[in-house]
Amino acid sequence: MKIAFVFPGQGSQSVGMLGSFAGDAVVEDVLRRASQALGQDIGRLIANGPAAELDLTVNTQPCLLTASVAIYLAWRDAGGPAPEVVAGHSLGEYAALVAAGSLTLEQAVPLVRFRAKAMQEAVPVGTSGMAAILGLDDENVRAACARAQAEAPGAVVEAVNFNAPAQVVIAGHTAALARACEIAREMGAKRALALPVSVAFHSSLLEPARVRLFERLSHTEVRPPAVPVLNNIDVKMESDPDAIRNALARQVAGPVRWSELVARLAGQGVTHIVECGPGKVLTGLNKRIAPTLASISIFDRTSLLQALSITGAKE
């Protein structure tokens, strides 16, 4: 048995996402530490919302990171075996780095709030967005984006999240995005759906965020990971702190290569891939990408106990 842990990205949050862990000393300690590091009561926001406040990017990112780390540490405290490799989808990569010991929770929580602000401020609100293209392969999605850009010189629209086979997210300027969706439908896409996001995350339009994040990371202590971390931007395992910083900065303005990442895990002999954090979004993607892997979700107390029965608890 070779276990990989993966951590979810923005969109998996929900009010009450740690409710089943109420009274758990490990989870309560994580909430206390995160709140102290941020100067905000993270536990209250996670428990009570309101949803509109939790869903603000500047709140979502530190709250989801905190929840994912809390669930991971609850897993370890319950005797769950340590993973042999970790990864995360976009924001989730920061939780992976905390789990691997490269960043502390106290470093990561304010860092992802800074990341969220830099991403939100990189492009004027309302001038860009994102859309999901379903039922079209990666190359045809790229081709649809290229055609839309060619029709509007100066506009940007790019494939930014390769989430699963025939499930790609594109991002860019509003008009070019709409045109790319039209072209994708003409090319045979089953659906092309605008997402409720006001910024073109992971596109080259976020270059200003990359610059700001790189500067912030240059002053952040990053330690070599105790567990290999497979990154999003290069689908590569880095141990050098400068290389980790560089990959994290480039990630905000570059694509999330999730399909390749999961396939790489499978190719390295991983037998069980465990999604650790709120929701079950990645588990669904992982099953489509690598159906031979055992895909498990840990998102509440019950699912944690079920996962322990599958993987076995260590004394």
12, 35, 68, 90: the catalytic one is 90
Helices (H), 39-173: 42-48, 51-54, 57-77, 92-99, 105-121, 138-151
Q: Is 272 a catalytic residue?
A: no
Residue 159 pairs in a beta bridge with 170
- d(CA 312, CA 54) in angstroms, rounded, equals 34
Distance CA 252, CA 171 (A): 12
Burial of 260 (0-12, 13-18, 19+ CB in 10 A): middle
Please identify which of the residues 12, 128, 173, 202 carries the catalytic annotation. Answer: 202
Asked if 219 is an active-site residue, the reply is: no
Residues with catalytic roles: 90, 202
